[in-house]
């Protein structure tokens, strides 16, 4: 973090020096971006922006960002959970038949080539118009969760498929020799064997769910959340550029947080490192 701040400041000083010198200095000056305090607010300003109380709020800015991060976290967490269920469901379905796998995997991959920005409004419109059969009132943040799901199910399906297919043939034959039904083989062999693969996917999916939620908020026009905040601070950038940086830092912190949560769960479930083999 400190190194990042130093690099940022150093680059800025370098850029300013080039600008101060004659335009076109050593050619570099002509294409390197300008570094004014407006474009790159000083690190100290950004740090001050974290604790500063924006006018008319009475709260330090970081608490505002934190509550919006919590809003985004809810969307991301719901999206992640649905993504894991859907992704794993698809992976399990594909494990049942090689023909199904060959037929469906290209479609799963193709689904990820559609830009998220393009489908986000469609999902929001569906949410507002079509989901009135549900026992609860559909809210826009739920549409954002669905958008996050779209990003999260993919790594779970792809890694889950590899994990479910990872048991050695003799382990599968062992289960056959015990006449274990398909569900038992799944529960006692394939799923436990796929945990390391799944957690690798969960780490990607968790951070992707945050990205999906923020992008979803921006394109869905949801009130609240980090995406909304980033949009807002971009609009009033000239009066407080450091606040946009703080909002982005908040998004980064949220991504790191969800990654850490998954890593902790992984350690508790499969992390038995450091045992020595007895030979």
Interface residues with other proteins (CB under 8 A)?
168, 170-171, 173-174, 176-180, 184, 188-189, 192-193, 195, 270, 272, 275-279
Smallest gap, in angstroms, from Cβ of residue 16 to other proteins? 57
Nearer to other proteins, 135 or 183 (CB): 183
* Structure tokens given for 46: 């950004």
Q: Look at residues 191, 153, 196, 197 and name the one whose alpha carbon lies nearest to residue 175.
A: 191
Cα 135–Cα 142–Cα 111 angle in degrees, nearest 5: 115
Is residue 214 within 8 Å of residue 71, measured between CB atoms? no
Nearer to other proteins, 188 or 236 (CB): 188
- Cα separation, 73 vs 70, in Å, equals 5
Nearer to other proteins, 60 or 196 (CB): 196
Nearer to other proteins, 2 or 179 (CB): 179
Nearer to other proteins, 74 or 162 (CB): 162
Alpha helices (runs of H) in the chain, residue ranges in sequence order = 2-20, 28-31, 43-51, 61-95, 98-111, 116-130, 140-164, 169-177, 182-185, 191-220, 226-235, 241-270
41: Cα separation from own chain's centroid: 26
Is residue 148 within 8 Å of residue 76, measured between CB atoms? yes
Nearer to other proteins, 146 or 189 (CB): 189
- Cα separation, 33 vs 18, in Å, equals 10
Q: Look at residues 202, 203, 193 and name the one whose alpha carbon lies nearest to residue 163.
A: 193
Nearer to other proteins, 14 or 187 (CB): 187
Smallest gap, in angstroms, from Cβ of residue 166 to other proteins? 11
Smallest gap, in angstroms, from Cβ of residue 180 to other proteins? 5
**Burial environment of residue 156 by CB neighbours within 10 A (0 to 12, 13 to 18, 19 or more):** buried
Smallest gap, in angstroms, from Cβ of residue 195 to other proteins? 7
Query: Tokens 């995997």 label which residue?
Result: 105
């Amino acid at each position: 973090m400190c190194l990042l701040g130093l690099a940022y400041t150093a680059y800025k000083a370098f850029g300013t020096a080039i600008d101060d010198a004659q335009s076109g200095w050593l050619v570099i000056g002509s294409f390197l971006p300008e570094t004014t305090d407006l474009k790159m607010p000083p690190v100290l300003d950004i740090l001050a922006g974290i604790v500063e109380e924006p006018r008319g709020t009475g709260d330090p800015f970081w608490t505002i960002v934190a509550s919006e991060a919590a809003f985004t976290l809810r969307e991301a967490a719901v999206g992640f959970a649905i993504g894991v269920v859907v992704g794993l469901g698809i992976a399990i379905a594909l494990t049942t038949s090689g023909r199904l796998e060959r037929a469906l995997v290209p479609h799963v991959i193709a689904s990820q080539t559609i830009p998220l920005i393009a489908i986000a409004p469609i999902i929001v419109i569906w949410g507002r118009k079509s989901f009135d059969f549900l026992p609860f009132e559909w809210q826009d943040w739920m549409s954002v969760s669905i958008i996050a799901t779209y990003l999260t199910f993919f790594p779970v399906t792809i890694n889950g498929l590899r994990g479910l297919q990872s048991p050695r043939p003799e382990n599968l034959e062992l289960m056959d020799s015990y006449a274990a039904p398909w569900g038992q083989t799944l529960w006692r062999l394939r799923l436990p064997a796929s945990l390391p693969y799944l957690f690798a996917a969960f780490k990607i999916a968790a951070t992707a769910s945050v990205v999906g939620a923020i992008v979803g908020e921006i394109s869905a026009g949801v009130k609240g959340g980090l995406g909304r905040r980033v949009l807002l601070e971009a609009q009033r950038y000239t009066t407080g550029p450091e606040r946009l940086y703080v909002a982005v830092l908040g998004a980064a912190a949220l991504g790191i947080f969800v990654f850490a949560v998954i890593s902790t769960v992984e350690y508790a479930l499969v992390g038995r490192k450091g045992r020595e083999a007895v030979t």
